[in-house]
Amino acid sequence: MKRALLALLAFLFVLYTAATALTQVRPGERAVVRRFGRILPQKPGPGLHIGWPWGIDQVERVNVARDRTVPIGFTGREADEATATPTGQLLTGDHNLVNVQVDVNYTIADDEVEKYFLQADRAEAVITRVAESILAEWIAGRRVDDVLLTGKELLKGVLVNELQERLRPYDLGVVITGASVTQVNPPDEVKDAFQRVAQAHTGMKTQENSARQFAARKLSDTEAEIFHTKRMTAAYARAQELQARVEVENFLKRLEQYRRLSKDNPTYLNTLWLDDMTRLFARMKDAGRIDLLDHYLTGEGLTIMQFPPLPKKK
């Protein structure tokens, strides 16, 4: 009987040891092991962890892969008697109130999981307070128009960079992975007025963009016209230069011919003049600028009442 009791006790002890000394750490988790209350430096990863039975070792599993979110700022609830303004209603640099709400995302650092384990109950509260201080500083340094127009874009980067740096002394064991600004609005009492101001700003921007586009088109058209004019001018200059060269060559040839022939025929210059005048008169007649006097001879003599009219310019 005594042996059976001892065997049963031994079996129960082995069963208890196996049940409490083995811990399955799932993927995405890290284990924090406390031995007699002291945290061991080892942080077992996914797999089967074998330690001492419960009472000697206590194993806590922490999910380090999950992305956690902390909502910060304006909640939409009315201010209570103890507070002058609702949570998340902040003052701008030009003394206007804005409602700001952001979501901060964080994960637990693999190599600092024991720090998070020790401060898990206050980690999100610290993140909230530090983020609120960053929001208050950033908004207090800007005019309300700048906050409303650029807050959603600029605050994300400011929060991620500043928050990680300011949380470092607290040893929370967290990594800030991102932030999203869900609301940057004026209080409901003046929301309509600010919406009209925003619409006016939008209209100004639209007009400004239209003016810039019109100016760009006009500049492009002007540059194209200048380029075309330069090309036409260059082509005209080349044509005039070639024509002048041809005329010079023709003149030099005729001069050479005159010098050669005038030696034998002193009246050769008169012959050249008559030839040129004949060609000139022929061109003037074709153009309607000249006519024969025979057309104006009558029984009473020469009657010239008017010269032929000049052709109309096209």
Structural domains of the chain, count? 4
On whether both 248 and 307 belong to a single domain, the answer is no
Alpha helices of 262-305 — where are they, by DSSP H?
268-286
Give the end of a domain, one of 186, 214, 245.
186
On whether both 99 and 133 belong to a single domain, the answer is yes
Indicate the pTM of the whole model: 0.56
On whether both 73 and 178 belong to a single domain, the answer is yes
| Residue from 88, 176, 201 nearest 135 by CA | 88
Exposed e or buried b per residue across 14-23, where buried means at least 16 C-beta atoms within 10 angstroms of its C-beta: eeeeeebbeb
Place of tokens 């005048």: 277
Q: What values do phi and psi take at 145, rounded to 5?
A: -60, -40
Residues of the chain with pLDDT under 50: 81-82, 306-307
| Side-chain-facing half-sphere of 276: CA atoms under 13 Å | 7
Exposed e or buried b per residue across 24-62, where buried means at least 16 C-beta atoms within 10 angstroms of its C-beta: ebeeebbbbbeeeeebeeebbeeeebebeeeeebbbbbb
Q: Residue 16 contacts by C-beta under 8 Å, 6 or more apart in sequence? A: 53
On whether both 131 and 210 belong to a single domain, the answer is no
CB 79 within 8 A of CB 66: no
SS3 of residue 185 by DSSP:
strand
Which tokens sit at 179?
Answer: 């932030």
- Angle among Cα 218, 221, 227 to the nearest 5 degrees reads 140
Alpha carbon separation from 1 to 13, 14, 113 (Å, rounded): 18, 20, 50
**pLDDT, tens digit, for every residue of 230-275?**
999 999 999 999 999 999 998 888 888 878 877 777 777 777 777 7
Give the end of a domain, one of 216, 233, 261.
261
Is residue 71 within a helix (H) or strand (E), and if so which, with residue range?
Answer: strand 68-73
Beta bridge mates, 98: 90
On whether both 137 and 159 belong to a single domain, the answer is yes
On whether both 73 and 56 belong to a single domain, the answer is no
pLDDT of residue 162: 92
Q: What values do phi and psi take at 232, rounded to 5?
A: -65, -40
Residues spanned by the domain of 293: 267-314
Task: Compute, in degrees rounded to 10, the torsion defined by CA atoms 116, 119, 122, 124.
Answer: -10
Q: What is the CATH number of the domain that holds 105?
A: 3.30.479.30
Kindly report the three-state secondary structure assignment for every residue of 2-18: HHHHHHHHHHHHHHHHH
CB 266 within 8 A of CB 259: no
Please state whether beta strands 174-185 and 97-108 pair in parallel, antiparallel, or not at all (unpaired). antiparallel
d(CA 291, CA 278): 13
Give the end of a domain, one of 149, 170, 186.
186
pLDDT of residue 20: 61
On whether both 122 and 182 belong to a single domain, the answer is yes
pLDDT of residue 177: 93
pLDDT of residue 308: 52
On whether both 201 and 171 belong to a single domain, the answer is no
Amino acid code (one letter) for 203: G
d(CA 132, CA 123): 14
On whether both 171 and 88 belong to a single domain, the answer is yes
pLDDT of residue 190: 73
On whether both 145 and 169 belong to a single domain, the answer is yes
On whether both 289 and 274 belong to a single domain, the answer is yes
On whether both 89 and 154 belong to a single domain, the answer is yes
